[in-house]
Structure 1
Amino acid sequence: MRVLVTGVTGQVGGALVRLAGEGAGEGIEIVGVGRDRLDLAQPGRIDGALDAVRPDLVVNPAAYTAVDKAEQERDLAFAINRDGPAALAASCAERGIGLVHVSTDYVFDGTGTRPYRPEDPVAPLGVYGASKEAGETAIRHALEDHLILRTAWVYAARGGNFMNTMLRVGKDRDELKVVADQHGTPTAAVDIAGAILALIRTRRAGDGVAPGTYHYTADGETTWHGFAEAIFERAGPVWGRRPTVHAITTAEYPTPARRPGYSVLDTSALTAALPSLPHRSWQAALDEVFAARMAAEETA
């Protein structure tokens, strides 16, 4: 089974290619393509990329993810997060190819008091969330054979993400202030990639999950402050010191884009559809990703 994966320089796309290369995708040929071959901001090039690779399935983790910058770059965010996926879905429909598309918890407004289910009403607060929600809608209209996989608070050993930012600034500071009233679930890119591979293997076996929208994150929940504390709990023994992390409110740390105060996702629908789906706590995943980051530093 040949699978085209977009965004291979990103966290999820890169993790998916690495996992497949390590043997996790036996019987599955992963063909990773970068923006030089398939750029969602240039929909006219999508047909050529699909015809060159001739995949049985497309996985699209590529996206415009600069949440605050999107407030000033609305047109670009919508071009990449709505128009690109719309064209990709249409091209897949013409060729009879399925699509797995990665989306976000930011499609919700965060006023909920229980984990969000896939069918709950969406109400994005900013341009980023609105552009991702528009991409979801476009895919549903263009292609029946689709899986939209919403996830949250993605991080990896490499790339720009919260863990790496904390490790960069915490290494030189004795005190930091981190927001403690936004709740969600840190989710390692490698775990999202593992879930996608599980979906692909099931599809290859002829018993795929029904088309639709699903949620996948690590187990558990925390705040950005709690996530930061957990990161420094692991970094402290390595550094021989640990910065103090002060809890602050969202109002005390204004940003261009509004963020949901509560965006924990209910993953039970996907677990029910695929009982073999890998799951672990966000803390256990952090142990692995943090160790990989430290190992990368040693070999740099």
Structure 2
Amino acid sequence: MRKSTTRTTSLAAAGVLGLVLTGCGTASDPDSGGSDADSSKPLTVAASPTPHADILNFVKKDLAEDAGLDLNVREFSDYVLPNNATESGEVDANFFQHKPYLDDFNKKKGTNIVPVVNVELEPLGLYSDKAESVEELESGQTVALPNDATNEGRALHLLDEHGLIELKKGAGQDATLGDIADKKGLKFKEMEAPSVPRALSDVDAAVVNGNYALEADLNPEEDALAAEEAEGNPYSNFLAVKKGNENDPRVKKLAKLLNSDEVKQYIEKKYKGAIVPVFGPVSS
């Protein structure tokens, strides 16, 4: 496995066990922007296990009590249930996704989920058990890709920027296999994102989401043949709520804690570059 990383500024969301949802009610009156929510009630946040639930559990254990926040973390193993649960009011917020994914989800599902604050970026990486460099990938070999709309496009841009394929001019963030102008002999295996790292032994290379790479003990800085840069990357993961709940005082407390120096230090120490702290408002 290659231990030095070729980085890219490519245009660049989230898995162990999904828990059964139980109703906990909506956090607030949507018309009030959540400002009249009872701040003494627990705030329940849906999250994928790594790194999102890890970060939230750090906040719960080390920061929430002093901030007067009763935080409850629920883990889910896919990209659909957390938004559905947030929309229905079964949870108050979620933390697992990036803006391109959320925009696509809202459009297709008719949901009204909105971002609150950026927290971290999980660099997408190209990994291989067989090749030591991008240059060793050849015509006839197979590359596994995540099959959801935004992450497949993100993966294809990564391959394009490293010369492994050529995308058609104007191919956007939601590029698909049909947007490849020249495959350069490569074959592609589309898979659900959580399954991609498990396919590494069966394919010649795979483009893996950062959170799933972590679960497979892969680090984009050390193990990837190519990986994304954080600067200018639109794929930061954020805290999100149903529209109208942005001003829930509990949500505001959590947003502030997630952008604290303590969380920054936790991310940097625990993930050593595999996850990058990216704080502040979410770009529209």
Instruction: State TM-score, norm by structure 2.
Output: 0.31
Instruction: State TM-score, norm by structure 1.
Output: 0.30
| Between structures 1 and 2, the one with greater strand share | 2
Which of the pair has the greater relative contact order for Cα pairs under 8 Å at 6+ separation?
Answer: 2
